[in-house]
Every structure is written in structure tokens, then in C-alpha cells.
Amino acid sequence: MVENIIMKKLLYISTLILTLFLLNACKDEEAIQPIAKLGTVQLTFDNVVGEQDLLLDSTVYTNMFFQEFTVAKFNYFISNIELLTKDSVYVPMLQDSSYFLIKEADPASLIANLNWVNEGEYIGMRFVIGVDSLRSTMPITNRTGVLDVSGYASDMYWVWNSGYIFVKLECHKPVKKGDPTPIVPYVYHIGGYGGMDGTPTINNLKTVSLAFPEPIVVSQSKKSKVHLKADALKVISGYNDIDFEKYPTVMLTTFSTKIAQNYSVMFSVDSIEN
Amino acid sequence: MRINKIILLGVLMSVIASCKKDETSTTPVNNTFTGFVKPASFPTPVYRFDYNPVNQAGFELGRKLFYDGRLSRDGTVSCGSCHQQGSGFAQFDHPVSHGVDDKLGVRNSPVIQNMAWAPFFFWDGGVFDLDLFPFAPIQNPVEMDETIPNVLAKLRADSKYPTLFKNAFGTDSITGTRMVQALSQFMNMLVSSNSRYDKFMAGDASAMNTDEVEGMSIFMQHCNRCHTAPLFTDHSFHNNGITRLTDKGRYQITLNNDDMYKFKTPTLRNVEKSMPYFHDGRTNLLADAVNHYSTNIPAGSTVDTALVGGLPLSSDQKNKLVLFLKTLTDDTFLHDTRFSEQ
């Protein structure tokens, strides 16, 4: 009688285990699930203009030519995020989940969570400004969320020359309240993923490597934070000072590579939080 | 206990069953719908059908969208306005496209046929995926001048569209991605492969007369290099000596000087019906279009070298070329009611 119950229990348990096993086998990502424990790293983006905080359509800033401007829009893509271990090994984050579109006007976009990060210490990171060529040419069904060209990314996509705009900075010449003169815009829409096979085009993808002031310690039990700063002033002055009068609009032209060179240095690590 | 076991067995079975990849059960109810069929003489399509296979409901939704003026700002311009079936889905009588408020585009609206084989769209090839194409004319201020969110809002508010999206994609969610996928399903069905030329090539010697056959051999000698059969395009970009300095063509996409004034080779299928010709729609007569190639085309940094000075064609040869080009007219395609506004 007791044996019978034990047998039944064993059968019950083994069936349960088999069920769980099969359930698990259904998941496609089962094969790549690492055994290590996983934690979350949170990236926050603080957009600034030089030493000042970035406030849209209000604060008046000055470029290297002493030309005044306000900022109307500041958006950028980052992708292909990797964390650097103490042993100087770059660990890629889940590629699918490491595309972020940061828009100054959308506070929710200023926080990016990297999930499924192996526990351990990391001393720096590396990422791409823009959307890599592989993803840029994937079927539209593989470009959802922040990559949806008919949704969140609709103002970050060129429809006449298929490709994402990687960095968009739109400034205005300041006007006094009630001044009826038309807005004078300074517009920088920079993209170009390098083109298709056989037809190379401008490549304004930039890789950024940043060291952390002290290591972040990723663990399952808490969220580590990396506070990043993105300096919009660098877009127009990083390497090449942009004269608003001379270059009021830069989009897909050869000159755009100068701006791309500029934004390659716009990021810095403000602080980390363990 | 027995009941428990049965339940467990049931769970187990259903788990095993759920392991199967979701095979969409959207097999068309109507058996007459053939779906996309590759003509035997055509190469493998480049369109990624795995991600967006054609089904009847998607095709019909795409057709409705194609002919729906609500895709434009003021409701007056649909895709079908500038892409009319009778001209192989190009636009009659307009050298360049006509948009809302009678605004003029800068280029001749091209035919829509055999899209599944096209690796590039637009005269300059700026778009590389059919699914991405509709976003451009919808948002172009001189074409449909509308925003995607507005279009989606109009479709969502409609009494019929939610059901049509559900039939095509499984749920009634109306997204930009689904909208363009449905349009692609419609456009991918626009296959023209039943011209007299095709019948001749398939073995029906009576489908073309001797002049036309002679025209074909002249064509193969001089024109097929770029207008490569059976699609009658090499999907590449050339400067054929037709330039307007304001339109730099492929250069505007690649910013490569070698691409200056180059335009995509248009297919010649249904060319008899798709006048006007060339990217700026400068001529309405097929004979004039053919004649351009035997004029003294001046050399230029990117002008196709084989065309410089013009092709050595007699007027008899040119006449026969025109006769041959007319054998590429596919009446079945041009009058197929499945492709017409319903």
C-alpha cells in the first residue's frame, strides 16, 4: 500500500519533471541560456549642452562661433552594447534587446535596461551610435519597438533612401517672445549605415568605448546603474566646429562625416551606482 | 489518482503539441486563389516571402489599401492614381507623377510589375525592400503628403479595415508594418509573364511573326545587356545619355561620383502601354524612345560607353525593335480583374 503510493508519487513527480523539461525545450533560446546567474544593468542618459543641462526650447546656448541657439530636438540611437570584464573581454548583450532610441523629449526613453547580464565585475562598455547595417537591412518584422519605422522611429528614418537617422539635432536661432520673424532652424540629421553589398555608401556608424570610474558589480539581487552623459554641443564641435550660418542644414551629404566624427565623442560616463 | 494521471497525461500531450511551431492556419478558403506563383522561365525571386507569404486575405487587404485615397492627406490620391493597371501600373499622360493639390513630382511614375524580383525601388534605387516602399510616397509632400499615424488612425476608425486586418494577420491590430506587408502581398501578385514573347519562348512559334522575331534578335544583340530577359532589366543603374542637370539620379543615394546621372534600368514588359518614357517622361512614343539610342549620344564621365555615339541601328531595325517590344504586352495581366479596383 505504502509502496503503491510511493510509486504513484514517483510517477507523478517524474511526469511533472518531464512536462517541465518539455515546456523548457519549447523555448527557442533554451540553447543559449547561460548557466551563470543574471543581473540587470541600467543605463541612464543625461543630455547636456557643454556644462549646462539640456532644456528643450528654453535655455539659450552658444556654439564655438559665438552663435546663439536653443535646442528643439535631440535624438540618437545606440545599439550593439558590450560590457568589458576585468579580464578585458567584451561581453555582448543580447543583440536583439540592445537597440535604444533616446529622445530628449521622451523621459521614458532616457532609461535603458540591459537584462540578462552575467553576474560579475565590469570595468567599461562599448556600443555603436546608430543602427548597424545588418539590422538596417533586416525584414521589417525584425525591426519592431524603437526600430519601427512606422512607429517610434518614424522621425528617425529616411524613407526616400532607406536608412535610420542615427543622430538628430535640431536647433533654433533664439527669438524674443512675440517676435513674428520666422524660425531660423539649424538642422543636423545624420545617418548612413554603409550601404548594401556592392554599393558602399557613407558609413556614419561610430563605436564608442567608455571606461567606468570604478567597476560595476552585476548581481542577481540588485540593479547596477551607469549614468551616461550625452553632450549635444559636441555634435557641433567635437572635432569640427560647425558654423550655423555656413552649415544650417546637414543631412546625407559627404560633409555629414564631419558631424559623425563629432558625435563619436559626445558620450561620457558621469558616474556608476552599485 | 487515476484522474490526476489522466490530467497530467493531457498536460503532457498538450505541451508536446505546443512544441510545434505555429503553423498558420490561414490557408485560403477559396481554392481558386493560387497565391504567388513563380513563372517557370523566371529566376528565383529576391523578396523575402518567408517573412510575409501571400495569402488571399492579405492580398485583398493590400488591394483595398492600394486603391484607397485615405492614404493621402486629403483623400484624393491613392497608390492606384499614379499606378494604373492599363499602363502596367504606371501613369498615363503624366511625364512626372501628380500628387495632392495637383503638385508635381520630379520623375515619371514607373510600372509596378514583377516586384518580387526587384532588389531596388525608385528610379534611383533608394529603397531596397518592397515593404519599405509605401512609406515614401505616403509621406512625400508632392505625392500623398500624409503621415503614417494619420493613415493608421483613419484605417482604425473604418468599419471594415479591422476585420480585414484580422483575416489577413490573425488579429485586428492595425500597424504600419502590417499595412505595408499587405500592400506588398498585393504588389507581389502583380506578375506579368504571359505576353506573346513568353508564349513564343515557351514553344508557340505562332505567337510572334518573322519581323518580331527579327526584332528580337536585334534586341538581344543591342539592348539585352541592360534590359535583360526575361525580366527585361538588369536591376542596375546606367547613364543612357538622358540627363537633366537638376536630377543626379543614383548619385543622390550613394554620393558616389561614379553614379552621377545614373538611373535604374526600367523593365520593358508592357512598355507599349506604359508611356511616357524615361525617368523624366520626356517622350510618349515608343519609336522616339528607341530612336534615342541611335542618336549621337555624347560621351560624359558616366555615360554608358556602349551607347556613346549611338547604337548602329537602321530605321528598318528600329521598326522591328518596336514591333518586338510590343510582343511584351501582356493583355492577361493588364486586364486581370483580380488586380483592379473592386
Measured in degrees and rounded to the nearest 5, phi and psi for residue A163 equal 170, 150
What pLDDT score was predicted for residue B105?
A: 82
Chain A residue at shortest CA distance from B5: A12
What pLDDT score was predicted for residue B155?
A: 97
What pLDDT score was predicted for residue A206?
A: 98
Q: What are the pLDDT digits (tens) for B220-271? A: 999 999 999 999 999 999 999 987 778 999 999 999 999 999 999 999 999 9
Handedness of CA A66, A67, A68, A69 (dihedral sign): negative
What pLDDT score was predicted for residue A149?
A: 94
What pLDDT score was predicted for residue B103?
A: 82
What pLDDT score was predicted for residue A148?
A: 96
A94-to-A34, A79, A259, B22 alpha-carbon distances in Å: 12, 10, 29, 24
Q: Is the pLDDT of residue B16 over 60?
A: no
Which three cell numbers mark B136? 515614401
Asked whether the beta carbons of residue A144 and residue B177 sit closer than 8 angstroms, the reply is yes
Across the interface, which of B18, B177, B181 has its CB nearest the CB of A26? B18
CB pairs under 8 A between A and B: 98
Q: Is the pLDDT of residue B22 over 50?
A: no
Q: Is the pLDDT of residue B11 over 50?
A: no
Percent of chain B with pLDDT over 70: 91
Regarding pTM above 0.80, the answer is: yes
What pLDDT score was predicted for residue B244?
A: 76
Q: Report the b/e string of B114-151 with b at 16+ CB within 10 A.
A: bbbbbebbbbbbbbbbbbbbbbbbbbbebbbbbebeeb
Which residues of A fall below an 8 Å CB-CB distance to B?
8, 11-12, 15-16, 18-19, 22-23, 25-26, 137, 139-142, 144, 148-151, 154, 157, 159-162, 195-196, 199-202, 252-254
Chain A residue at shortest CA distance from B124: A161
Residues of B in contact with A142 (CB under 8 A): 51
Q: What number is the average pLDDT over the span B274-292?
A: 93
Q: What are the pLDDT digits (tens) for B55-98? A: 999 999 999 999 999 999 999 999 999 999 999 999 877 777 77
B21 contacts chain A (CB < 8 A): no
What pLDDT score was predicted for residue A229?
A: 98
CA distance B333 to chain A (A): 28
Chain B residue at shortest CA distance from A144: B177
pLDDT by position in tens, chain A (length 274): 445 555 555 555 555 454 444 444 444 445 555 567 999 999 999 999 999 999 999 999 999 999 999 999 999 999 999 999 999 999 999 988 999 999 999 999 999 999 999 999 999 999 999 999 999 999 999 999 999 999 999 999 999 999 999 999 999 999 887 888 888 999 999 999 998 877 788 999 999 999 999 999 999 998 999 999 999 999 999 999 999 999 999 999 999 999 999 999 999 999 999 9
Bridge-partner residues for A62, per DSSP?
A68
Residues of A in contact with B15 (CB under 8 A): 19, 22-23, 26
B128 Cβ neighbours under 8 A, 6+ residues apart: A137, A162, A196, B119, B120, B121
Among residues A90, A99, A169, A97, which one has the least CA distance to residue A132? A99
What pLDDT score was predicted for residue B21?
A: 41
B143 contacts chain A (CB < 8 A): no
**A60 touches A69 (CB < 8 A):** yes
Residues of B in contact with A151 (CB under 8 A): 175-176
Q: What are the pLDDT digits (tens) for B203-213? A: 999 999 999 99
Cis before B53 (ω within 30): no
- Measure the CA–CA gap between A78 and A96, rounded to whole angstroms: 13
What pLDDT score was predicted for residue B28?
A: 42
B29 contacts chain A (CB < 8 A): no
- Measure the CA–CA gap between A215 and A193, rounded to whole angstroms: 32
Across the interface, which of B16, B176, B254 has its CB nearest the CB of A199? B254
Asked whether the beta carbons of residue A19 and residue B18 sit closer than 8 angstroms, the reply is no
End-to-end CA distance of chain B: give it in Å, rounded.
61
Q: What is the rounded average pLDDT for all residues in chain B?
A: 90
Among residues A238, A244, A240, A243, which one has the least CA distance to residue A263? A238
Chain B residue at shortest CA distance from A154: B148
CA distance B268 to chain A (A): 24
Q: What are the pLDDT digits (tens) for B305-327? A: 999 999 999 999 999 999 999 99
Q: What are the pLDDT digits (tens) for B134-156? A: 999 999 988 999 999 999 999 99
Percent of chain B with pLDDT over 90: 80
